[in-house]
């Protein structure tokens, strides 16, 4: 299956052979520029002395350092002292007037939102897939354990597999018809026929190096899936001091250069350290002055300079390595200036040919600070600090807003959220800006990595299970969870899990208001997470008051999270807003039914249970009210205690649902091809 964990031995081999790709790229560089001296002379003839830095980058003369990798790193600063003109900063400040042409128009007109309908067009197809799998759900017990994940889809497709295969090859662009096949080994042959694209991911975190939220999961899982879809992918990250030593030790020195920075009148060191895993190349931007802190995010005063530096250094590093992608895919405000740099200071350099996509993972965080500070650190021309781009409230600059204006496409992590952020309730004061750019806004739901989240192979569970035997073994995990957390050990209890950051966004005020009514003697609640002190203290109080019935695990424990997904009957996600949400996807894949509020990605991924037809895969409520959350929980408990057959049907339907990155990655690949139609 395509989503089994990679063989650890193979991963080690990939790390040990990390030098090989660098050598291959050097060979390719030699073919394009056999002699270094002519490149320098051409650059000298093509531009005056003031532009020699940019010409040197474009001519690819600096990457010659790559041939001297065995040499000690100490030799590099000496080169920089002798020839400061060899900086790899493609700053084209003399061409600032060009930026005026690129500057987005003022937002005087506000067209009606257009993105939401487009983002929701694929819902019917997704429902069709779910319903087709529902019909086949009882059959998987006849399959081997290794095939249980896709038993529902295989049973239906097996009789006509030979006839269907040629049709799939002829209609590769059709996404919906191949969703179920992504889980099997066969698509490997189809993927080889897909057009190839090179993509550079630029973001502030990525599992397993550094992760604080869902962005880290996306930056890890999506590139790996795109490699299977015939993409050449690099992920560019800061080299934080907090990256575990096991990964730091495996990084390979790729090169270094010096880069000017805004109006500081200083040249800053930019080192490139490389790590290769599962076909994805990870390049880390090294600078101890900016990234020596223990955490990826400190405070806005410190984060503004470091991410201005990172955004510019990432583009300069691509020029330095002479690796020019077709697409540059940026994530959140920390990389928000990348599209702005790309269309201004880097416009006439090799990397300027790339198209850009900016993904919003959470619109609440935007990187807003006063204009003089951001202009000082970024060095961007005055033209970009207007109301159509970076300027906000006349005196501030908004890094995310600027990126949204200059990016070729904007994506967010669900279709419903793409619509919601164009409204005053969810727009975080950028709703007008997003409506203005709605023509390039798309919503693509995230997925989960079946290698990390798989109840059939999960080592954290008391008993592993799949679609075919979930009803036999899920109770074992419930009893083990109750014992682990000191709850009354009774498989007849209805166990509700809540795995979340303990913040206002997650609807925890609703949860804390109804706990006494939920705990009726037949129900247990398990909370896992850390966050705001008020919620931590509230849940500790409930644990002390309802000991044996309520458990508050105020900590971050990945293994325990896996056990809660496996041992709970239902999972609460009553968020005030939720761009996508991954916990409900994890819960469904582990056979735990979600109870969610209809917002953002929760609405896109959870279909309300219909007591008359038996359709649906969870329990939902719409308005943000504690009473409606309690009603949804009571509806779930009613089905659980009075109609267990239908409950078990929903459990199996959820496990059969494809919530992997396969479908999402295909939508991103289609977007890349739309931007680069050659």
Digit-coded pLDDT (tens) for 252-283: 999 999 999 999 999 999 999 999 999 999 99
By CB atoms closer than 10 A (0-12, 13-18, 19+), residue 121 is exposed
Across 50-54, 177-181, 196-200, least confident range: 177-181
pLDDT above 60: residue 33: no
Segment among 49-53, 239-243, 388-392, 451-455 with least mean pLDDT = 49-53
pTM of the model: 0.72
pLDDT(356) > 50: yes
The pLDDT of residue 205: 95
Is 122 annotated in a binding site? The answer is: no
Tokens at 70, concatenated: 């065995």
Of the spans 111-115, 132-136, 307-311, which averages the highest pLDDT? 307-311
How long a stretch of residues is the chain?
A: 678
* pLDDT interval class at 678 (50, 70, 90): confident
User: Which pLDDT belongs to residue 93?
Assistant: 41
Q: What percent of the chain has pLDDT above 90?
A: 69
pLDDT grade for 107, boundaries at 50, 70 and 90: low
Angle between helices 36-46 and 52-59 (to 10 degrees): 140
Three-state DSSP class for 494? strand
What order do you get walking across the sheet with 619-621 strand by strand? 550-553, 523-528, 494-499, 570-573, 593-597, 619-621
Who's near 618: CB < 8 A, 6+ residues apart?
A: 584, 588, 593, 594, 595, 596, 606, 607, 608, 609, 650, 654
Non-local (6+) Cβ contacts of 102 within 8 A are 343, 344, 347, 406
- Which pLDDT belongs to residue 556? 86
pLDDT-derived band of residue 524, with 50, 70 and 90 as boundaries? Answer: very high
pLDDT band, very low/low/confident/very high, at 532 (cuts 50, 70, 90): very high
pLDDT(21) > 70 = no
- Whole-angstrom distance, CA of residue 374 vs CA of residue 368: 9
Please tell me the predicted confidence (pLDDT) of residue 193: 67
Amino acid 213: pLDDT? 82
Q: Between residues 47 and 441, which one has the greater pLDDT?
A: 441
């Amino acid at each position: 299956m395509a989503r089994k964990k990679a063989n650890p031995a193979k991963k080690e081999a990939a790390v040990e052979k990390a030098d090989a790709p660098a050598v291959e790229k050097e060979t390719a560089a030699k073919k394009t520029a056999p002699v270094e001296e002519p490149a320098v002379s051409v650059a000298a003839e093509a531009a005056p002395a003031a532009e020699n830095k940019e010409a040197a980058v474009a001519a690819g003369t600096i990457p010659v350092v790559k041939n001297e990798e065995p040499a000690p790193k100490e030799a590099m600063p000496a080169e920089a002292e002798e020839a400061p003109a060899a900086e790899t900063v493609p700053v084209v400040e003399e061409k600032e007037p060009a930026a005026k042409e690129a500057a987005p128009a003022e937002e005087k007109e506000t067209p009606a939102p257009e993105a939401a309908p487009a983002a929701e067009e694929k819902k019917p197809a997704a429902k069709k897939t779910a319903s087709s799998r529902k019909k086949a759900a009882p059959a998987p017990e006849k399959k081997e354990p290794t095939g249980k994940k896709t038993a529902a889809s295989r049973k239906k497709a097996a009789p006509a597999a030979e006839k269907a295969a040629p049709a799939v090859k002829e209609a590769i662009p059709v996404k919906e018809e191949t969703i179920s096949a992504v889980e099997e080994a066969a698509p490997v042959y189809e993927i080889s026929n897909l057009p190839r694209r090179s993509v550079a991911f630029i973001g502030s975190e990525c599992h397993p190096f550094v992760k604080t939220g869902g962005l880290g999961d996306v930056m890890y899982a999506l590139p790996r899936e795109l490699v299977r879809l015939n993409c050449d992918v690099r992920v560019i990250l800061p080299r934080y001091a907090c990256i575990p030593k096991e990964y730091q030790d495996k990084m390979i020195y790729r090169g270094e250069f010096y880069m000017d920075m805004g109006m500081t009148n200083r040249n800053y060191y930019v080192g490139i350290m490389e790590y290769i895993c599962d076909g994805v190349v990870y390049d880390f931007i090294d600078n101890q002055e900016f990234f020596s802190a223990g955490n990826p995010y400190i405070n806005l005063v410190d984060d503004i300079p470091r991410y201005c530096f990172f955004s510019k250094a990432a583009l300069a590093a691509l020029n330095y390595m002479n690796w020019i992608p077709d697409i540059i895919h940026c994530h959140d405000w920390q990389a928000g200036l990348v599209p702005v740099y790309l269309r201004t200071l880097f416009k006439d350099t090799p990397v300027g040919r790339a198209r850009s996509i900016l993904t919003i993972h959470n619109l609440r965080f935007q990187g807003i600070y006063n204009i003089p500070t951001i202009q000082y650190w970024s060095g961007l021309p005055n033209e970009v600090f207007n109301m159509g781009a970076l300027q906000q409230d006349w005196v501030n600059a908004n890094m995310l807003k600027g990126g949204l204006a200059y990016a070729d496409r904007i994506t967010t992590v669900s279709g419903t959220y793409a619509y919601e952020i164009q409204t005053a309730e969810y727009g975080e004061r950028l709703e007008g800006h997003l409506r203005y750019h709605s023509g390039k806004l798309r919503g693509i739901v995230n997925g989960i990595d079946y290698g990390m989240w798989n109840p059939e192979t999960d080592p954290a569970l008391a008993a592993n299970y799949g679609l075919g035997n979930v009803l036999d073994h899920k109770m074992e995990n419930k009893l083990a969870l109750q014992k682990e957390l000191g709850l009354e050990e009774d498989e007849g209890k209805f166990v509700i899990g809540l795995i979340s950051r303990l913040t206002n966004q997650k609807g925890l005020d609703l949860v804390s208001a109804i706990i006494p009514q939920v705990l009726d003697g037949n129900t247990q609640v398990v909370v896992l997470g850390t966050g705001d002190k008020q919620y931590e203290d509230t849940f500790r109080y409930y644990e002390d008051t309802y000991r044996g019935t309520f458990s508050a695990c105020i900590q971050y424990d990945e293994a325990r999270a896996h056990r809660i997904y496996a041992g709970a009957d239902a999972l609460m996600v009553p968020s005030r807003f939720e761009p996508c949400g991954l916990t409900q996807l994890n819960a469904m894949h582990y056979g735990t039914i979600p109870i969610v509020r209809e917002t953002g990605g929760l609405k896109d991924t959870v279909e309300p249970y219909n007591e008359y037809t038996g359709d649906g895969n969870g329990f939902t409520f719409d308005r943000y009210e504690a009473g409606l959350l309690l009603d949804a929980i009571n509806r779930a408990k009613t089905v659980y205690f009075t109609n267990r057959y239908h409950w078990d049907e929903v459990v199996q339907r959820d496990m059969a649902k494809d919530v992997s990155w396969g479908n999402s990655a295909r939508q991103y690949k289609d977007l890349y091809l739309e931007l680069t139609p050659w």
